[in-house]
A = this chain, B = another copy of it.
Amino acid sequence: MAEALDEIDVRLLAELQADADRTNVELARLVGLSPAATLNRVRRLKASGVIRRVVARVDPAAAGFPLQVYVAVTLAGAAPRTSRAFEDEVRALPQVIAADWVAGETDAILTIVARDVADLKRVLSRLSLQGGQRLITYLRLEEIKPPSPLPVADPATATD
């Protein structure tokens, strides 16, 4: 599907994951290409889906969501109808800001934000009603490491 990423693509990805709030000219200097070539590469990375999107990361507490939790969910059965209903609920709840099916001790891991305890309670309740048989809630206390770039350029993880 996708072309292999060369050295310069990897540098671009590293830079843009760290800080996408820079001009194309600056990016070009960082990777040692002309602005035109840089622009073409970045466009290709976006079009190919390697760069999924460029977004502002907002501080949840500062934006009015002091409660952030991870929730590990065990579904009530494996019937497609059950998981489908659960998926729909997850996508419909705006407080659920990320969710994945997983393999392990539970079926899904959700990331949820809430304005207060009542707000959180409402969300958990709705998840229960849509097949969430067991919800293990982890309240986020403190950040150890902020969301960080994929180590695309890290020698310790290099494959070649």
Listed in ascending order, the chain A residues whose CB lies under 8 Å from chain B are 2, 5, 13, 16-21, 46, 48-60, 62-65, 70, 72, 87, 90-91, 94-106, 108-109, 113-115, 119, 136-152, 154, 156-157, 159
Contacts and interface: CB of A to CB of B under 8 A. Distances in A.
A150 B17 contact: no
Q: How many copies does the complex hold?
A: 2
B57 A55 contact: yes
Contacts of A64: 5, 152, 159
A63 B139 contact: no
B90 A138 contact: no
A113 B145 CA distance: 14
A123 to B, nearest CB: 9
Contacts of A157: 94-95, 114-115, 119
A54 B51 contact: no
Contact of A105 (B138, B146, B147): B138
17 contacts: A13-B63, A17-B58, A18-B55, A21-B53, A58-B149, A60-B150, A72-B138, A94-B151, A95-B151, A97-B147, A98-B148, A99-B144, A101-B143, A104-B139, A105-B136, A113-B150, A115-B157
A-B pairs with the 3 shortest C-beta distances?
A: A94-B151, A16-B56, A104-B138
A26 to B, nearest CB: 13
B58 A141 contact: no
Nearest to A108: B144
